[in-house]
Each structure stands twice: as structure tokens, then as C-alpha cells.
């Protein structure tokens, strides 16, 4: 609906150009948006305000001139008015509303999807937790955010690769090995020394007990590497199971170690040196970060000869860009706020195009129970796993609640609210709208009422109530909402929109009887609620949330 109206208004500009009233140049970035109140029309435009200086008129005069260059279009608008300082208000025709409803009934599940991405290749990297422990609720927010972004991009015509990057070496993995070995010896009743910064969660003892069951005391004198491999496999299997429960499947698991094995890390060092972007100091190799907009230089190889984590991250991103992705989306936690800037600076030093990289930093999650925070700390036994959260509130609530806020806003996850089966619970509220419509359709079919499948069958001219018109206008905004959410990489916009649709539908359902003795009005309203149901199903699918037929 909106694209057709924008094209119609643009014709007024072209008319002024043809008459020599305006220069033939690119239009300013003008808006056509629903006004705050329906009394001001279905859409309002600021076009006249932007063109007034070029027309050498005040905005209201400019608006009048624009409207005088438009022919009557009863198929699009009933009337147009000039309001306030020079806004053009458009009142949409019933014919255009009927056409929009027809498109929704025709396209059904594909309504809202587009080919805007034109098959562009996008890599979305998310979760990327090293296999040192089960996924926590912090990982959960990132997992759901990344998957929803991937779904949005796929719905808008992009070809998406979901990627998980991890490291099975380094200090943290050594601590994992030492922690597992200590618990293993402890389970055998042998002397053991638990590492000072070791992983103390109960899962370490469970892994150690599994080794005892399989190997007895045969590993008592084994090198820690055996324990590392065993623990890593056990933990990674658990991570994959958790992700499977959330409906998240990765296309690529990329191991950091491979970047050392194929020489990529050394290539980065050699290239930075050859470009004069490094220097040696105190036995370490430093990157001249201040030459590339960093606040200070950074160590990339320690005096021990061990690279810092920034170096393999640079190599990994070079690898991503060389794989030909048109866009790379990195999703990191707040603890990566400074790290990613260092990596991007390194890439610029290497001559790479960083404009293709979008970095999203999500903020922390506070889990609330009885109104009080539940404390977390991954290296101690006091943390909440993502599996525990799923078991507590279910997959749908986990996904919906994690997507309720912008990624860069702190998130309070209210356990008590997530478990409520009432209108207070946002995911329940949206799902219930879908299930309510499913119940109406079942009732209609059971009563022998024909459920329309196309515009020709639904007598859309009977949709004359203001609630019905408002609901149609909200539904037709969906495709543009999806496009905007995908462009901004902000899936929370879909959440807000679905809540608006559910609110409008529930209000309509309570005020207007859908099944009545008037066959044509019933058919019209059944057509409308089917459109509502399709949009809710599509939106929930983009969030990875179920659309239940019964609740």
C-alpha cells in the first residue's frame, strides 16, 4: 500500500518538473508514515515541507501546488488534505484496502518476505563459546539474537551462512584439562590439586565420573591432553544439544587452531611487518594501533612468543572476507567492546575492506526470580545454564523474551512472567491471538460456514468498521517492517510489531462478532482474521517461535 502511495505522490513532483516549477534533480528523502491519530488520515507526508524552498513558496502553498498536479485516483485515495505547517494527509480508498487484503490472502505465509537481498551472501557469526562449559543465559541471548537475524535476512532474499567460531587450545582449555584431571583423581580417591582458577561447576565432576566409568584408574598417570580432548568433546556435544533444543543449526563450525596450522596467523604477522605497522618493545611485537584510530598501540605477540587473541581474530576475519561474503555480521557480548575495534583496526592496516563487517554488541542479561536477581558466575558452581532456563520456561518464552529489547540494551529476564499463562506474558499474548483465530476457523468449518480462500470469496466491501480498517492498515505495514528490521539488523522490531497486531486483534475480537447470521459479513471477517493469522505466523517464524493451533 505505502509504495503505491509514495509513487502516486512522486508523480506530483514530476508534474512540477514538467511545468518548469522544479529543477530536474533527485528528490529529497521524504517520508510517508501513519500519523499518530487516524483523524489525520491513513498516511501523512512531509514532502511539501522539504520542497517548499525549491518551489520558493511556504510549505502550505507548496503542498497545494503539489496536490494540483495530481489527477483523481479513487482506486488509491478518497481524499487528500493539507494539515499543520504543510503536511499532506492521505485517506486511503476502500478499493486499495480490498486490494491489500487480497494480496495477503493470496500470498499467505510468503507475505512479508521479499527478494530485496538479491541473493547476497551473508555470514552471521554468533555464540562462538569455547568448549569449557555449558551455555549460559548470556550465550542464550546471543544464540537467539543471531538466529533471528539470520532468519530475517533469509526472509528478505539473502543467502545466509550461520557460523560458530571456537578455540580448542590456549590457557582456558589448559584449565579445563587440569580441572577435569583433578576431579578424576578426586573421584578415584587419589591425591589431586585443583587449579586456582579452574572450572568448579558440577559439570566437571560429571565428566570426570564418566571417565572413571569408562577407564577406571587407567588414566591416573595420563597427560592432561587426554582429559582436555575428552572434556572438550563432552562439552561440545552438550552445547550442540542445547542449540538443537532452540532450533539453531550452524552451517559452519570454524576452529581457531586451523588458522595456525595453515599459516594464516603467521601471514598476518608478516604482512603487518612488511607494511611497517609493527614494532618490537620489551621483547613483544606491537601493532601501531594509534595509526589506525585506536587510543593506544596493542601487543599482538607476547614476549613469550605467544600471540594475543587479537591476532587470530584478524586472521579469521581475513578468511571471512576472502570467502566472498557480501556482508559479515559479528555478534559479540559486551566483554568484546574493545576487542573488535582492535581487530577492525588491524584489518584496515592489512588493506581489507571493513565496510562489509557489521558488529553487534549485546548487553548482559539479568535473570529475575521473585523480583530478585539470580547470581551468575561461569567459573564457579553458581551459574544458570541455558538448558535450565529452557526447562524452566520453555523454548518459545526463551526466544521471545531474549528478543524483546534492542541488542545494546540491558535485558531483565523475568522468570515468573515468562511462565504465566495470561495476557501479561507477551509471548502468550501473541500466540493466543493465533490460537484464537485457529479456534474461530475450526468453529466455522464445524458449523458448515465456508472459509474464504481468496478476495473474491470474502466480500471485503463489508469491512467498514474503524477497527477493521485499522487492522488492515497495520497488517499492510508488515512487509516494510520486515525490510526495515533486516536493514537495521534489529529483530526486536518484529516483536514490537507482533504485540501491536495481537493487541489490535484481541480488541477487534472483543468488539466485533466474527461469526454471525450475516453470511457476507462473516465471510469478510473470516478473510480478515486469516490475514491476521498469516502475519502472526510469519512474524513468529522469523523469531523462531511456534504458532500453536490450540492453547
Contact by Cβ (8 Å): 518, 449: no
- Report helix, strand and coil shares of the chain as percent, to nearest 5: 55, 15, 35
Sign of CA dihedral 233, 234, 238, 244: positive
**What is the three-state SS of 5-42?**
HHHHHHHHHHHHHHCCCCCCCCCCCCCEECCCCHHHCC
Contact by Cβ (8 Å): 292, 351: no
Contact by Cβ (8 Å): 184, 198: no
Per CATH, is 422-543 categorized as 1.10.287.180?
no
Pairing type for strands 365-369 and 372-373 reads antiparallel
Per CATH, is 2-92 categorized as 3.30.1360.70?
yes
Instruction: List the domain boundaries for the chain.
Output: 2-92, 171-245, 422-543
Give alpha helix (H) positions in 284-338: 310-322
Going residue by residue through the chain (551 aa), what tens digit of pLDDT does each one get?
A: 888 999 999 998 888 888 888 888 777 889 999 888 878 889 999 999 999 998 889 999 999 999 998 988 999 999 999 999 999 999 999 899 899 999 999 999 899 999 999 999 999 999 999 999 999 999 999 999 999 999 999 999 999 999 999 998 788 999 999 999 999 999 999 999 999 989 988 899 999 999 999 999 999 999 999 999 999 999 999 999 999 999 999 999 999 999 999 999 999 999 999 999 999 999 999 999 999 999 999 999 999 999 998 999 999 999 999 999 999 999 999 988 888 999 999 999 999 999 999 999 999 999 999 999 886 544 445 578 899 999 999 999 999 999 999 999 999 999 999 999 999 999 999 999 999 999 999 999 999 999 999 999 999 999 999 999 999 999 999 999 999 999 999 999 999 999 999 999 999 999 999 999 999 999 999 999 999 999 999 999 999 999 999 99
Which of 423, 499, 463 minimizes the C-alpha distance to 104?
463
Q: Is 395 exposed, middle or buried (0-12, 13-18, 19+ CB in 10 A)?
A: middle
Contact by Cβ (8 Å): 150, 142: no
Distance of CA 428 to the CA centre of its chain: 20
What confidence score (pLDDT) does residue 376 get?
A: 52
What confidence score (pLDDT) does residue 24 get?
A: 80
How far lies 261's CA from each of 195, 258, 265, 271, 272, in Å? 29, 5, 9, 17, 19
User: pTM for the whole thing?
Assistant: 0.92
Three cell numbers written together for 224: 592432561
What confidence score (pLDDT) does residue 393 get?
A: 96
**Helices vs strands, H then E, count in the chain:** 20, 15
First to last CA, the chain: 33
Residue 448 phi, psi dihedral angles, 5° rounding? 75, 20
What confidence score (pLDDT) does residue 377 get?
A: 46
Amino acid at each position: 500500500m505505502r509504495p503505491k502511495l509514495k509513487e502516486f505522490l512522486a508523480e506530483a513532483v514530476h508534474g512540477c518538473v514538467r511545468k518548469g516549477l522544479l529543477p530536474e534533480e533527485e528528490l529529497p528523502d521524504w517520508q510517508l508514515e501513519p500519523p499518530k491519530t487516524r483523524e489525520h488520515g491513513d498516511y501523512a507526508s512531509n514532502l511539501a515541507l522539504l520542497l517548499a524552498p525549491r518551489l520558493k513558496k511556504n510549505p502550505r502553498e507548496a503542498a497545494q501546488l503539489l496536490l494540483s498536479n495530481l489527477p483523481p485516483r479513487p482506486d488509491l485515495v478518497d481524499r487528500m488534505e493539507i494539515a499543520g505547517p504543510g503536511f499532506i494527509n492521505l485517506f486511503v480508498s476502500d478499493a486499495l484496502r480490498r486490494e491489500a487484503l487480497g494480496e495477503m490472502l493470496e500470498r499467505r505465509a510468503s507475505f512479508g518476505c521479499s527478494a530485496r537481498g538479491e541473493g547476497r551472501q551473508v555470514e552471521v557469526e554468533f555464540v562462538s563459546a569455547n568448549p569449557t562449559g555449558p551455555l549460559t543465559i548470556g550465550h542464550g541471548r546471543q544464540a537467539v539474537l543471531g538466529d533471528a537475524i539470520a532468519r530475517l535476512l533469509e526472509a528478505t532474499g539473502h543467502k545466509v551462512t550461520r557460523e560458530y567460531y571456537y578455540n580448542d587450545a590456549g590457557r582456558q582449555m589448559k584449565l579445563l584439562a587440569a580441572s577435569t584431571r583433578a576431579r578424576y583423581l578426586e573421584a578415584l580417591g587419589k591425591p589431586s590439586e585443583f587449579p586456582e582458577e579452574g572450572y568448579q561447576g558440577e559439570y566437571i565432576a560429571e565428566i570426570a565420573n564418566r571417565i572413571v566409568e569408562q577407564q577406571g584408574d587407567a588414566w591416573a598417570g595420563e597427560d592432561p591432553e587426554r582429559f582436555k580432548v575428552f572434556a572438550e568433546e563432552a562439552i561440545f556435544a552438550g552445547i550442540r544439544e542445547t542449540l538443537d533444543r532452540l532450533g539453531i543449526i550452524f552451517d559452519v563450525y570454524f576452529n581457531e587452531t586451523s588458522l595456525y596450522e595453515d599459516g594464516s596467523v603467521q601471514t598476518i604477522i608478516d604482512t603487518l611487518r612488511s607494511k611497517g605497522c609493527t614494532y618490537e618493545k620489551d621483547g613483544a611485537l606491537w601493532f601501531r594501533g594509534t595509526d589506525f584510530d585506536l587510543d593506544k598501540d596493542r601487543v599482538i605477540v607476547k614476549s613469550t612468543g605467544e600471540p594475543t587473541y587479537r591476532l587470530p581474530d584478524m586472521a579469521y576475519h581475513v578468511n571471512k572476507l576472502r570467502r566472498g561474503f557480501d556482508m559479515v555480521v559479528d555478534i559479540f557480548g559486551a566483554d568484546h567492546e574493545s576487542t573488535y575495534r582492535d581487530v577492525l583496526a588491524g584489518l584496515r592496516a592489512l588493506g581489507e575492506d571493513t565496510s562489509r563487517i557489521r558488529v553487534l554488541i549485546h548487553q548482559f542479561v539479568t535473570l529475575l526470580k521473585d523480583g530478585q536477581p539470580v547470581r551468575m558466575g561461569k567459573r564457579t558452581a553458581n551459574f544458570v545454564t541455558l538448558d535450565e532456563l529452557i526447562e524452566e520456561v520453555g523454548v518459545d518464552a526463551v526466544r521471545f523474551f531474549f528478543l524483546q529489547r534492542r541488542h545494546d540494551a540491558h535485558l531483565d529476564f523475568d522468570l515468573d512472567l515468562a511462565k504465566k499463562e495470561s495476557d501479561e506474558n507477551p509471548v502468550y499474548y501473541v500466540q493466543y491471538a493465533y490460537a484464537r483465530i485457529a479456534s474461530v476457523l475450526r468453529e466455522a468449518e464445524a458449523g458448515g460456514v465456508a472459509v474464504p480462500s481468496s478476495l473474491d470469496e470474502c466480500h471485503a466491501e463489508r469491512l467498514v468498521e474503524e477497527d477493521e480498517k485499522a487492522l488492515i492498515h497495520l497488517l499492510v505495514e508488515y512487509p516494510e517492517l520486515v525490510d526495515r528490521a533486516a536493514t537495521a539488523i534489529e529483530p526486536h522490531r518484529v516483536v514490537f510489531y507482533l504485540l501491536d497486531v495481537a493487541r489490535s486483534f484481541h480488541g477487534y475480537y472483543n468488539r466485533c462478532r466474527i461469526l454471525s447470521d450475516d453470511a457476507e459479513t462473516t465471510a469478510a471477517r473470516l478473510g480478515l482474521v486469516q490475514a491476521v493469522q498469516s502475519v502472526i505466523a510469519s512474524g513468529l517464524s522469523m523469531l523462531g517461535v511456534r504458532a500453536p493451533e490450540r492453547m
